[in-house]
Chains A and B, each alone.
Chain A
Amino acid sequence: MADTSNLLALFREVVEEVDKKKLPDVTEKSVIADLGIDSLSTMQIIGELENRLDIMIPDDQLVKLETVGDLLAVVERCAAKKG
């Protein structure tokens, strides 16, 4: 399964595809809203990550997502459960 650095690279790639934004300096500590990614784009990005990793993230795990690291932790947990 993808480790966190791989997920960060995947996140960058997906943001570029979905939101047409290049994020060369993004880190896990980056605040999603500070990157100019609004709530609608965040859900599209989550959808694309789900497609790429073939997972379904329960919505109740998507509350209080502030940083990129928060989001990637949820993605990683779901992907790990998939095995």
Chain B
Amino acid sequence: MRFPYGPAALSMLILSILSGAWLALNPIPPKKATLVMWTFAKTHYDAYKQAIPSFEAKHPGVKVDLQLVSWQAVTSRLQAAFLSDLDVPDLVEVEISAAGSFFRGPLKDVGFRDLTDRIKQSGLYDRMVQARFAPYTSRGRIFGLPHDVHPVMIAYRRDIFDQLGIDVNKIQTWDDFIAVGRKVTIPGKRYMLELPDSESSRFEPLLYQRGGGLFDPQGNCTMDNEIAVQTMLFYVPLVAGPNRIASDLGGGQIFTRAVEDGYFLCMIAPDWRSKTIEVDVPKMRGKMALMPLPAVYPGGRRTSTWGGTMIGITKHCKYPDLAWELALHLYLNKDDLAQRFRDTNILPALKEAWDHPAYDEPRPYWSNQPIGRLYAKLAPDVPFQYTSPFVATAKGKLSEALVACVQYYKQNGDKGFEEFVRKRLKQSADEVRRLMRRNPY
């Protein structure tokens, strides 16, 4: 018997039947996990993989499915998951710069559960560094538990400093730092500090150090206030003009080469970056050291903050109490946190965890400094960093203002610079405010 529609149609039909039968016989196994958790950092993933079996042992029958999602993809995947109500995880770790975008719209429609009552009733609000709740708070409600503090220090080439006879103890303020920088900088060959002139990632910690920020606690855009203006007036001459002491080449291999070559003597280094430096520039073992950030004025704040992560529980989660217990298990276990510090150099937000001996261990890479204790001493002074759903836009606008100010300064120097900075920052802030006004909530 011949198939009436020809061999092509017959092959399509056979393929359809075969593939359909295969799918029918091999159905996707139903998800057995009680809780699904996403994290974007490989270091967190590795640490949680070790911590989860003890949680599962404490809760017989509970299975946690931990998934590593790319940092670049986690925001868009989570937005899409919330939108479609499909594949929404129960717990998610979100990076600080993306967190604000999930707090858009009426509070009842935020995809994360409001953790304010749990955090305050459990006493965690006092046990953790309070400043670190700010980036995960919207309209007074807390949507995430902070993973870290990320105090900022300066990492420097101790061997070259020693050769040049620089005494870091005498560097107390930014004026001291700049004075040394002017002496040791050789344009095109060696710079005192690694700072970019084309984006604001290192500008922001310096803004926070002065008590400024992109937004105030009420979510109003403040990136053109007096603190921001003064920070810009301070920052731009560091990276542009005849007296510049800072430069930037980029990350990855080029950063490794630049540090090895002594192209940069100092780098702004929050705790997580101290690990990045260890991993990326292994040859500098024993030649690097850390010092506190110079203060803006004598006796002023010697640190800032850069980066961060929160863990949130989604409204999709069927077992919020269990999810909360898992979050506490991962974020409060002192021994696990100590081991995680050894692996990642990241200081946890839980203050009582810093008593662990792990934070006093000398680190050979950092010229045997006990870097945990150094960061822990600065941690209580970490500034507040407020957020808004428009934080990504604000960061972009701040970068635009920085580039414009750098270009102006390169062409005109000090002449009319302050007036230009005020005008340019206001322009950027007004653009953010204009976008915010479109928000009907």
To the question of whether A and B form a pair in one complex, the answer is no
Interface, chain B (partner A; CB < 8 A): none
What is A's interface to B at a CB cutoff of 8 Å? Answer: none
